[in-house]
Amino acid sequence: MQKLTIAILAFLLASACGEQTAPAPGPVADPKFVGTEQCASCHEPEYLAWQGSHHQLAMQPANDGTVLGSFSNAELKYRNDLTTFYRDGDKFVVRTSNEAGELQNYEVLYAFGVFPLQQYLVASTRGRMQALPFAWDTRPAGDGGQRWYSLYPDDEVDHNDPLHWTGRFYNWNYMCAECHSTNVEVGYDLETNTFDTRYDEISVGCEACHGPGSSHLAQAESGTFDSNYGLAVNLDDRAGAAWVMNAATGIAERSTRNVLSQQAESCGRCHARRSPITKLYEYGKPLADTHMIALLDEHLYYPDGRIQDEVYVYGSFVQSRMFAAGVTCSDCHNPHSATLRTGANPNDICSTCHLPAKFASQDHAGAGSENCVACHMPATTYMGVDDRRDHSFRLPTTASDPQHYGHAIAAGRAGNANSELLKAIVNDNYPAIARATMLTLLEPELEHTTLVAETIAQQLGDPDPLVRVAALRALRNQPPALRLQSGSQLLRDPVRSVRIEAARTYVEYKDLLPLADARAFPDAAAEYRRALLATANLPGSVLNLAEFESLSGNAEAASKLYRQMLVIGADFAPGRHAYGLWLVRNGQPESALSHLRAATELEPDVPRFAYVYGIALNSSGLAEEGLSVLRKARNDFPADYDIAWGLATMLRDSGDFNAARSLAREMLLQYPDDENFNALMRSLPGAELQ
């Protein structure tokens, strides 16, 4: 049965509850969560559709009715470890390697998800709940399912690896809870490194999307509704509009413009690659006000914006022409059952807006094409068995289209592409998330910065907060003087993610700001601190907070935060590197060496870590050790300029003029006009300039 629109449902609800034309009641202070069961009596069709949905089954207590995996002494061998799944009375138990690499029995407390795989949660220390690294393939046996399998089948992940299931990447409290339950409070305490995570409803219930329901319930009982029916967020993106078929194009057009896709903003809370910037979610706010949204970054998306890593839906959907035309989530999906509105065949939902006579013809689709999504929504498989479709609804020829924004992003990733990027950034036909990504790819220009400065300044005023955030990041990548020319007004931006990005951008210049912006800085800085504390269980967040305090002149707070970061992330290479540099700057070079060395060992593929460690050794009087590190780094990273320069100067200072001369000649073949290496050649005894 086709579901009614949210607007009609609201009207029927009002009628059923006896709404009159009385004045709207005043708002109820601090609305509370009341639970999905309270909604069922007035919203039975929606409640029944929700039953059995992926939202309703997102998280369940482990019992005979919820656990789908085989716990009949089933075994799974992963590398050299044997994991056993068995029953102990009513308990479901997994025997597998713990954080010390030793076998340990864990009771499964919760089933997580339902199809095409199901994961299992077990209790760990300090209030942590961890997801096991082995999942049950819930697909039919004929499709390859009904088996245990490893989520990392091709990687060598042992207890020393950050990806081991006992670590932060498999932590339910932060990584999973917000989107699998309702009204989650993560409850992390940095001082004690503990969690006290709570939720109002174990599954994704009505209030996970509509917000706390006590005001709505009270208004229903009184028979008098306000314009928003007592709900914290209005998800009626349709707002009386209709999709009207254009016979000439064969594509339906929205009868009135969609000003804001509140559904995309609300659904994006969980269906986006993002990071929370508030401890508690605030309903009805734009997504950028409660979360920092990932751009089309390398390793997350391909240059043309296709999904690569597990980025969910929002980032691809906001690239699409359909989003730009006003299409919203419930135009295709039933939000309560989480299925397509027209049934399992995707062609049926596509044909509601795309005339089949035009788009289902062989001339359009070609012989042998089974459905629309095969071409326009290609799938990528995640977690071994989970096929997820790209929602940018791109043409199959996008990758080869020279006018597509992907070409500029690809050039920017390759480097030295400011000219191409600057032209593309100002193309308003490109989606905001693509233009924002291009801004972050601009490289520093020490000369001829006028066009760069003008372009960044223009984008600082873009209507989309993603672009404003990216413009601030671009400012930080350019000569410092540009920051004081424009941008500090964003400390007063209406969107939180922009304000906190501005706080990070202007912390070093807070005493030089115009009066209105200087007055706004303390509040923006406080928001930035709170945003990082919202994810303080991640060493990267604590690192950013430590560096912010350092730049603010709060050396004692910075020192404490660096040490706290080491407690929760001793294996976090960027943090070890940054702490080492901080110790050097604060007169503790000998203490810094162990952290700089650890960074190179934890991430040996990062040339900067090796370069800094080699220079630090040399500066500490350990010249031979420094030379050894940089010689190896030169062999590992032959194209790295800084490593070559550091090694060449250290060879010169050690008296090995022949080796220094040889290296300088090698670099001059790559950079024939480089003044540094030319000057080095001239400074060497007996050298002849090549």
> What pLDDT score does 1 carry?
31
Helices then strands, counting H and E runs in the chain, come out as 31, 19
Question: Does 33 score more than 50 pLDDT?
Answer: yes
Query: Per-residue pLDDT tens for 443-474?
Result: 998 766 789 999 999 999 999 999 999 999 99
State the helix-helix crossing angle for 432-441 and 405-414, rounded to 10 degrees: 20
Q: What is the 3-state secondary structure (H, E, C) of 54-100?
A: CCCCCEEECCCCCCCCCCCCEEEEECCEEEEEEEECCEEEEEEECCC
Q: How far apart are CA 461 and CA 471, in angstroms?
A: 9
Q: How far apart are CA 200 and CA 471, in angstroms?
A: 38
Query: Per-residue pLDDT tens for 221-233?
Result: 999 999 999 999 9
Question: Does 383 score more than 50 pLDDT?
Answer: yes
Q: What percent of the residues of the chain are helix, what percent strand, and what percent coil, each to the nearest 5?
A: 45, 15, 40
Q: How does residue 369 score in pLDDT terms, banded at 50, 70 and 90?
A: low
Question: Does 301 score more than 90 pLDDT?
Answer: yes
Q: Are 490 and 499 in contact (CB under 8 A)?
A: yes
> What pLDDT score does 34 carry?
97
Question: Does 20 score more than 80 pLDDT?
Answer: no
Q: How far apart are CA 543 and CA 566, in angstroms?
A: 9
Q: How does residue 360 score in pLDDT terms, banded at 50, 70 and 90?
A: confident
What tokens does 484 get?
A: 């004081």
> What pLDDT score does 687 carry?
52
CATH topology of domain 572-690: 1.25.40
Question: Does 424 score more than 60 pLDDT?
Answer: yes
List where CATH 1.25.40.10 sits in the chain: 572-690
Question: Does 18 score more than 70 pLDDT?
Answer: no
Question: Does 105 score more than 50 pLDDT?
Answer: yes
> What pLDDT score does 468 carry?
98
Q: What is the pTM of this model?
A: 0.92
On average, the pLDDT of the chain sits at: 92
Cα–Cα nearest to 432, from 308, 267, 314? 314
Question: Does 239 score more than 90 pLDDT?
Answer: no
Cβ neighbours, 10 Å, residue 249: 11
Question: Does 7 score more than 70 pLDDT?
Answer: no
Q: Give just the sign of the alpha carbon dihedral 537, 539, 544, 548.
A: positive
Q: How does residue 553 score in pLDDT terms, banded at 50, 70 and 90?
A: very high
> What pLDDT score does 30 carry?
85
Q: Are 448 and 454 in contact (CB under 8 A)?
A: no
Question: Does 6 score more than 50 pLDDT?
Answer: no
> What pLDDT score does 448 carry?
60
The one-letter amino acid at 66 = T
> What pLDDT score does 9 carry?
32
Least confident window among 37-46, 151-160, 596-605: 151-160
> What pLDDT score does 270 carry?
97
> What pLDDT score does 12 carry?
31
Q: Are 201 and 207 in contact (CB under 8 A)?
A: yes
